[in-house]
Chain A
Amino acid sequence: MEKDKIIIDYKHRQAGHCESGATSNLFNFYGVEMSEPMAFGIGNGLFFSYLPFLKLQYAPMMTFRNFPNVVFHRSMKYLGVDSTVIKKFKDQKESMAALDRNLEKGIPTGMQVGVFNLTFFPPEYRMHYNMHNLVAYGKEGNDYWVSDTVMELPQKISSEDLQRVRYAKGVFAPKGKMYWINSINKDLDIKSAVEKAIKKTVYEMLKVPFPLNGVKGIHWLAKDLKKWPKKHGNETASFYLGQIIRMSEDFGTGGAGFRYIYGAFLKETGEKFSNPDLMAASNLMGNAANRWREFTYLSARNCKNRSKPEEDYGKLSDMLHEIADMEKEVYVKLDKIKI
């Protein structure tokens, strides 16, 4: 047994968001101090998209985060770090062998997985959600040691189970995707990376010429929300409303659909480069995040009492419009900032 045991000295830290947590932990492993909000911000984690024509677990899909693997990929690109991303393996056995080879070389390796068959996850969270990330850092016999940043402690998972979750099917199927850092140059140019990242986030939230993305998407969602009770009846309307809350509060968001984490990122950069404009933007973001929180608390009442809504959907919709305007203010401010 001793021969099969490889455990890399990798520090597991809990984080709000799975992928930025994994990215920041990987940075820390290579000796670059990076907090989770920093990794999230540089990796363009913040996003909003409303996709009513796609259904996730019988309700319209909306996402508060960017597509899987964007956080890792962009933070590597902006910081100029030498890293490898393998998008897919055709052969499932080969993907596990590649993971073993990496572990033997002492490289902690990140992977995209589906949540549904993840054995250590609490049962109530096991839905078909394929954008989860974890980092394998050790192997003991047939079991792998993985660091799932949503969990408090590192977890053990058997080889068969890991293979199954790596090949979960459905929307955004992971297809065995894995990623790792090859080498890192210790004096990174964080300033230019932050500049590029903020520019990109502002572009994605304000300027994408597609009405369901970013701030425009939130407005669209608010418009639709008003129509749900009439269109689908109270039961379904409250189920759809529940989907907004599930996406913004559950599934490792750190609360309020990642807005808190982004606010923390703005604050950290503001302190680092002593830029008062960034600090002001972080305060605005914090307020918007608090407003999201209020929105979820109010709408949860409708989900509790499903057939008789306690809160008026029109009021909730107005609240969403207000949130969208609050967020827009932040992005407009960020657009003009020179770091």
Chain B
Amino acid sequence: MENESNPVYKNQAYGQFRELFYSYDKDGKFEKRVGYHGEPDRVTLQQAWDHFNDRIEAARQKVKAGEASPILYYMEKTLVTAMDLSMHAGIIVWRIKRHLKPKVFNRLGEKTLKKYAEAFNITIDQLKNVD
């Protein structure tokens, strides 16, 4: 199981990360072993990232179609909800929700944009343009 080649995880340097696991055998001994993650972990992590990537892609399409502002895309990309973002950026939730409309977003001032850019750890230019 350990050397199973999984292309996705190979890209993300999965093979280099080994954790410590405990186990219990029939003789009543608890043992420690250092090793790679087993099948269930891989499957569920893959599932989680597939789910997140789907959401990111959907958000990107929405932004491209002009239905939402880039803030939505970056929110999905950094896996935060409006609530979390509000704590990061120091902007209250209903304002963030309002800023998700492209029309409102385009009118935003430098100061607010800077707050968002800092919360996402990107520049203002990157914030305005979704690649």
Inter-subunit contact A249/B30 (CB<8 Å): no
CA A7 to CA B91, docked complex, whole Å: 40
Which listed residue, A123, A169, A239, A306, touches B88 by the CB 8 Å rule? A169
- Scan residues 40-96 of chain B and give those whose CB is less than 8 A from a CB of chain A: 40-41, 43-45, 47-49, 51-52, 55, 78-81, 84, 87-88
Residue numbers in A under 8 Å from B43 (CB-CB): 242, 300, 303-304
Inter-subunit contact B20/A254 (CB<8 Å): yes
Report the interface size for chain B: residues with CB under 8 A from the other chain: 39
Q: A150 within 8 Å of B by Cβ?
A: yes
Stretch at the interface among B10-18, B104-112, B122-130: B10-18
CA A221 to CA B47, docked complex, whole Å: 21
Inter-subunit contact A14/B12 (CB<8 Å): no
CA A58 to CA B24, docked complex, whole Å: 33
Q: A312 within 8 Å of B by Cβ?
A: no
Inter-subunit contact A250/B23 (CB<8 Å): no
Interface extent on A, as a size class?
Answer: 35 or more
CA A306 to CA B20, docked complex, whole Å: 29
Q: Which residue of B lies closest to A171 (CB)?
A: B84
Which listed residue, A14, A152, A286, touches B24 by the CB 8 Å rule? A286
Q: A246 within 8 Å of B by Cβ?
A: yes
- Scan residues 291-339 of chain A and give those whose CB is less than 8 A from a CB of chain B: 296-297, 299-300, 303-304, 306
A12 to chain B, nearest CB (A): 12
Inter-subunit contact B41/A250 (CB<8 Å): yes
Inter-subunit contact A249/B12 (CB<8 Å): no
- Scan residues 146-198 of chain A and give those whose CB is less than 8 A from a CB of chain B: 150-152, 164, 169-170, 173
Residue numbers in B under 8 Å from A263 (CB-CB): 24, 30
B2 to chain A, nearest CB (A): 15
Inter-subunit contact B44/A300 (CB<8 Å): yes
Residue numbers in A under 8 Å from B47 (CB-CB): 238-239, 242, 303-304, 306
CA A58 to CA B38, docked complex, whole Å: 24
Residue numbers in B under 8 Å from A116 (CB-CB): 78-79
Q: A234 within 8 Å of B by Cβ?
A: no
Residue numbers in B under 8 Å from A245 (CB-CB): 40-41, 44
Q: B39 within 8 Å of A by Cβ?
A: yes
Q: A290 within 8 Å of B by Cβ?
A: yes
> With A124-B12, A249-B41, A267-B30 in contact, is A242–B20 under 8 Å at CB?
no
Q: A151-B17, A169-B88 given. 8 additional CB < 8 A pairs?
A: A122-B17, A128-B80, A164-B121, A242-B44, A250-B45, A286-B24, A287-B24, A299-B40
Query: Can you give 24 A-B contacts (C-beta < 8 A)?
Result: A55-B81, A116-B78, A123-B12, A123-B13, A124-B9, A128-B84, A164-B121, A169-B88, A170-B84, A173-B87, A238-B47, A239-B48, A242-B47, A245-B41, A246-B48, A249-B41, A260-B21, A260-B30, A264-B22, A267-B30, A279-B28, A286-B30, A296-B40, A303-B47
Report the 4 A-B pairs with minimum CB-CB distance, sorted nearest first: A260-B22, A286-B24, A300-B40, A264-B30
